[in-house]
Structure 1
Amino acid sequence: MDTLNRLGMQSRLATTTAVLWALLALIACDKREPARAAPLASNVETREWRTPGCDAEERCTSVVIKREVFAERPALNDAVRVQLLEQLQGNGEAPGSTASNFEQVAKAFIADAAEASEISSAAWQLTGDAKKLALHDNLLTVAISSYIYSGGAHGMPVTHWLNWDLAENRQVALADVIAPGAEERFWSLAQTAHKQWMEAQEVDVDFRENWPFVRSDDFRLTDSGLKLLYGVYTLAPYSMGEIELTLPREKLTGLLREPYLSEPEN
């Protein structure tokens, strides 16, 4: 009888142990890291157009477009192409024309330059560039830049940051990153970063009044926090170029949705 009792007890212990191991396995699965996107492969496409009949060594109107194209990422490539087309036609604002591809943009720009050549000898320039800037977890940031010179003292550069969730295969806007109900606190922190930037530049009272803080839709995540990008003539004169404000990671707790406030990589 004792032998039977011992065998029964051993059987119950074995069953309990198996159940415990199964529960531990489930807990481990619940705590597993989010799925990682497959490694990115890409190549750079470059296209160039010049005024017809213009020698390569002459100063003449030119259009040069370089674009990083990501393998097996058609939706991402299309989003980058649309944004770059918009910038090339309207300096990042509303499109200046309805061209649907880069060749149409180039030909229209060269034609406009030819018409203006009667009153100006300036060699017009139009450049576009799109390339990977950063990858934070599954969030890829593509820097999309354009530059247009059509006479005058200087050209006009424009840069926008396009963020793409590689795991979900979709574009991510700043509104998708800020936690619900935290928008005002987020922008209050951004204003603090702007004040610190002005103090570092040692600007005077007139500067502070003429160049007040504004919000930006351009952002990217880094191990140290979140960066906001501002184009020329937004927070400062042209001579100061594009400006980045950094919101420290330790101050973003509760302001960003949890998937976007991951621990920095070692």
Structure 2
Amino acid sequence: MSLVKIASVACIALTLGACQSLFQPSYNTPLETKREKSEQLKPGCSGADCPLVNLDTVHFPAEPQLDAIVEKRLLQMTSTSPDAALPPSLEAYREQFLRSAPDRHGMYLQSKVREQHDGLVIIELASYLDTGAANGTAGRGFVNYSRQQHRALNLADMLLPGQEEMFWKAARVAHNNWLISTHLDREAEFVKTWPFQKTPNVALTRNAVTLKYNLTTIAPSALGQVELQIPYDRLKGVLKPELFPGH
């Protein structure tokens, strides 16, 4: 029997979706990941005050484009000036930091897979610059990677044309719901001091669109990095239909 006939017989026995998976990659199968973790002190230095760089990153052996995107985003999180040139790699950044950082300084960089669903890989990024003071500088970010398109999606890629204002209106509703759920809506001074703001950290998580805020953006640092959830039902006509889970 020819290969074509064998494939045809197999398709008859399977559902349409399973048949199609014979000829194209299944995006329901998560990408393989590989974790890399290291901590390095300034060469020749010993003691508790030595500068250090701690890296805890995830790699994707089958998706080198995604590896490159994650590395660039982490390097951007290390920048202290918008005009500063980025190091060519995390290894180069580590060498540069350890060479020039004063004692008691440390940089922590992390990337981890938060979710994989519907052909999307949602990666959460974190940075923390410890300067030896009581509070360092923390950062957060997301990468929404489309396996079909082999690229990261920004907010403009996610929304239907002309719907950005409606998206942020839905985000305001989510913020109000958060205030109510935490009973902070009852504190007039808090509502006045910590108003709603937009955030660049938007993730297409499975159960809702997630907005994440850096410390002291919409709440004091004691409340941590606040997350808001926008249910997908509220984004009909706003979010591109193909980005709804289960589409």
Contact in 1 for aligned 2:115/2:122 (Cα 8 Å) = yes
Q: 2:227 aligns with which of 244, 250, 263?
A: 244
- Tell me, what secondary structure is at the counterpart of 1:132? strand
Q: Deviations over 1:117-153 (max 9, x none)?
A: 5xxxxx2221111121111201111111111111221
Q: 2:50 aligns with which of 33, 36, 60?
A: 60
Larger deviation, residues 161-170 vs 217-226: 217-226
Larger deviation, residues 198-207 vs 75-84: 198-207
Q: Which has the higher Rg, Structure 1 or Structure 2?
A: 1
Q: 1:169 aligns with which of 128, 150, 157?
A: 150
Aligned ranges for residues 200-219 of structure 1 at < 5 Å?
Answer: 200-203=181-184, 204-219=187-202
Aligned ranges for residues 180-199 of structure 1 at < 5 Å?
Answer: 180-199=161-180
- Tell me, what secondary structure is at the counterpart of 2:122? strand
Larger deviation, residues 199-208 vs 126-135: 199-208
Equivalent residue number for residue 42 of structure 1: 33
Aligned ranges for residues 1-266 of structure 1 at < 5 Å?
Answer: 36-37=26-27, 39-55=30-46, 58-90=48-80, 94=82, 96=84, 98-114=86-102, 117=103, 123-203=104-184, 204-263=187-246
Contact in 2 for aligned 1:174/1:218 (Cα 8 Å) = no
Amino acid at match of 1:263: G
Contact in 1 for aligned 2:31/2:62 (Cα 8 Å) = no
Larger deviation, residues 220-229 vs 79-88: 220-229
1:72 Cα offset (Å): 2.4
1:86 Cα offset (Å): 1.2
Structure 2 unaligned blocks of 5 or more: 1-15
1:173 Cα offset (Å): 0.9
Q: Deviations over 1:86-131 (max 9, x none)?
A: 11233xx7365542222332233334433xx5xxxxx222111112
Quickly say closer, same or farther: Cα 1:112–1:238, change in 2 above 3 A.
farther
Q: What percentage of residue pairs aligned between the two structures are identical?
A: 27
User: Within 2, Cα distance between the matches of 1:234 and 1:159?
Assistant: 12
Amino acid at match of 2:218: L
User: Within 2, Cα distance between the matches of 1:102 and 1:193?
Assistant: 36
Amino acid at match of 2:33: S
Per the normalisation by structure 2, the TM-score is 0.81
Equivalenced residue count is 225
Amino acid at match of 1:257: K
Quickly say closer, same or farther: Cα 1:35–1:113, change in 2 above 3 A.
closer
Contact in 1 for aligned 2:144/2:204 (Cα 8 Å) = no
1:162 Cα offset (Å): 0.6
Amino acid at match of 1:107: E
Structure 1 unaligned blocks of 5 or more: 1-27, 118-122
Amino acid at match of 1:239: A
Q: Deviations over 1:34-53 (max 9, x none)?
A: 97336411211233320233
1:184 Cα offset (Å): 1.9
